[in-house]
Structure 1
């Protein structure tokens, strides 16, 4: 199937409708500041479809094994579905497990871990707005991805003010082709976002489109005094937060966690280590005496905003733990310390067994006790301080939490 000759007209109409929908949806419930009209104007000009020639959408139902069925979508397979999705406020998955797809002959996928995407437009615009970018600012974007977010920055600021780095060379090549095809010419580089991009420093703003366990020190050193770094944070429990740091002249930085719980893919070079078969970790745990839990695992494992926020905070108490559920049993596994906790449903409640030098669930429960006693404060009540004493989450009524040293 060839592309219709009226692609531009179709795309223009859908893009205008998308931007109107985004504008009508403001102010967002989780927004710290209103979305800047200049970013909406940029979204009205950037052709998102040029950056997503192929992507995957989930089927209506999982397969027989319970895995999500991912259907490939291209203009040749289904022009209408492709273009409508490109101009929907939806994240479009473009890569699984770091493997490239042959978009001339794409196949349906069953399960898999998304490793690259075109983030939903409302979130991209929200990130740029929250970073308080102004005309004349120079910006560094961490994670070029498809290049759509980069194009928005170029449209708003001019290409000469935009630098974007990407660790995946194939992703970067595709983004570069799309950007240049649309008339944008930012500085692009293959680089690990952990180290920023020194040749163009200093920047007025640094904005990351992937998450880190803690703030990379290089990003602070590449930010002008008074400049800001907007960074998604996550850990190996996959709790999420965003922080907006203001960098001082002495290299320290401080800023609030932003409202809402927004998830970003972790930086690839900071992914959690493999733990193998959970059964290897839990072997022998049946000999450990169990106890009733003080807090059920739903407090951090449920798919709710409150649980995601609490999970982000709680993972600071067990920074090297990972969570996996097998057959209704939840396991916490810490491959660094060599510790494990297993939570099993029993008689309408939960019981836990813990083994190793770190009592993982006990640590989480101790933090939840303090969190509840403080009135369950939201993310915007926390401040992240980065200085010679490390990276600390500070709150007036909750004991301070430390983020793991970057590089660990």
Structure 2
């Protein structure tokens, strides 16, 4: 038995034992699909990420003793840095942000199971990435029923080569996945392997009535959750599935550069009812994002001064700055809107309803708006 076949069997066993891999069709897809073929270009290993310094990344290439075993761990493996840099492009270390990866297999198969596929269904995948999840879809449905969109041409080219090496030729598109694929619509399922701020109207317009969308809804405060929606009468309705699922944001949905910060000495000051530390909780942070969906959070610590937690609403051009003053939090707010007032009000409603977890949240999307609330 080849080394990689043994590793595939071990991976399938771990995913089954963990409850992620539940159906025989997807188990066979994992057994038959060599993940390492989608990592032939190498991956980046994280270094210096545990201390106070910046996170660094160093390449791991085929031939390195760690490369093949790592391909079958239940880990996300970074395959691109800073939007253009592949592992083969550098020696040593790079200190920039990841922009593409091979998602951890347990999340890949969980999402595929959550799609609830039947034979003959047509699927549109948003975010080809390395192509591993695309290959699993092809194994389950057949190449001619799978379309995958990738915004990065280099990433798509590498995925196409890996898919070909494993015997798959699905329809691959280079383009903005937020626009979907009107030429191939309608689809029975749309699945996104990137995070989005809002479910694009194009997606449910391109989904058959009764079809489903599976995507991770995110925010600029970096809380997110997987949502499953059913399309009907020009809208989509569903709920969040729980599990604190996180993906890289779709590139068009990344937060803009903040530029010059506001003068934090301006504005009106009061004692805060809820402190910034409340947002250390994943679900509370998601609730705050619902109240202030285009708000970024940064921390500022001037020399010799107190740490301030600054929230900047890009759309409203408003801000709030919180600091811990002894045992109490103080908030100063500026601009035409009161960002922290909105967040406190929304969080108070959530707390009065018993602080429900995200798997009790409901989502409705129409061409005009996205609404997320919780089941009371």
**Worse-matched range after superposition: 184-193 or 341-350:** 341-350
Deviations 1:115-160 (A, max 9, x none): 1000000001011111111222111100001101101111111111
Match of 1:383 among 359, 362, 375: 362
**Worse-matched range after superposition: 135-144 or 54-63:** 54-63
- Preserved CA contact (<8 Å) 1:210 1:267: yes
Structure 1 residue 319 displacement after superposition: 1.6
Report the Cα distance in structure 2 between the residues aligned to 1:387 and 1:343, rounded to whole angstroms. Answer: 35
The equivalent residue for 1:400 is: none
With structure 1 as the length reference, what TM-score do the two structures score?
0.86
Match of 1:257 among 236, 240, 245: 240
The equivalent residue for 1:72 is: 59
- Preserved CA contact (<8 Å) 1:237 1:323: yes
Instruction: Give RMSD over aligned pairs.
Output: 1.9
Structure 1 residue 104 displacement after superposition: 6.0
- Preserved CA contact (<8 Å) 1:382 1:394: yes
Report the Cα distance in structure 2 between the residues aligned to 1:70 and 1:315, rounded to whole angstroms. Answer: 30
Structure 1 residue 97 displacement after superposition: 1.8
DSSP 3-state at the match of 1:129: helix
Deviations 1:170-223 (A, max 9, x none): 000000011011110100011211111122211111100011111111111111
Deviations 1:310-357 (A, max 9, x none): 222221211221011233421111232221111122324432211111
Alignment of 1:19-98 (within 5 A): 19-26=12-19, 35-53=22-40, 54-59=42-47, 61-62=49-50, 66-76=53-63, 78=64, 80-98=65-83
The equivalent residue for 2:304 is: none
Deviations 1:351-388 (A, max 9, x none): 22111112111211111110000001122222212236
The equivalent residue for 1:365 is: 344
Q: Does 1:141 align with 2:125?
A: yes
The equivalent residue for 2:195 is: 211
Q: Does 1:344 align with 2:316?
A: no
DSSP 3-state at the match of 2:69: helix
- Preserved CA contact (<8 Å) 1:56 1:94: yes
Gaps of 5+ in 2: 302-306
Gaps of 5+ in 1: 1-7, 29-33, 398-408
- Preserved CA contact (<8 Å) 2:268 2:334: no
- Preserved CA contact (<8 Å) 1:281 1:340: no
Match of 1:17 among 10, 13, 17: 10
Alignment of 1:170-319 (within 5 A): 170-248=154-232, 250-276=233-259, 280-283=260-263, 285-300=264-279, 302=280, 307-319=281-293
Q: Alpha carbons of 1:42 and 1:297: their partners in 2 closer, same or farther (altered >3 Å)?
A: same
Q: Alpha carbons of 1:23 and 1:73: their partners in 2 closer, same or farther (altered >3 Å)?
A: same
With structure 2 as the length reference, what TM-score do the two structures score?
0.93
DSSP 3-state at the match of 2:365: strand
Q: Does 1:321 align with 2:283?
A: no
Deviations 1:217-256 (A, max 9, x none): 11111111111111111122222122111112x2222111
DSSP 3-state at the match of 2:44: strand
Structure 1 residue 390 displacement after superposition: 2.9
Report the Cα distance in structure 2 between the residues aligned to 1:61 and 1:273, rounded to whole angstroms. Answer: 25
Report the Cα distance in structure 1 between the residues aligned to 2:290 and 2:312, rounded to whole angstroms. Answer: 15
User: Following superposition, which runs of at least 4 residues in structure 1 exceed 6 angstroms of deviation?
Assistant: none
Report the Cα distance in structure 1 between the residues aligned to 2:295 and 2:218, rounded to whole angstroms. Answer: 12
- Preserved CA contact (<8 Å) 1:282 1:342: no
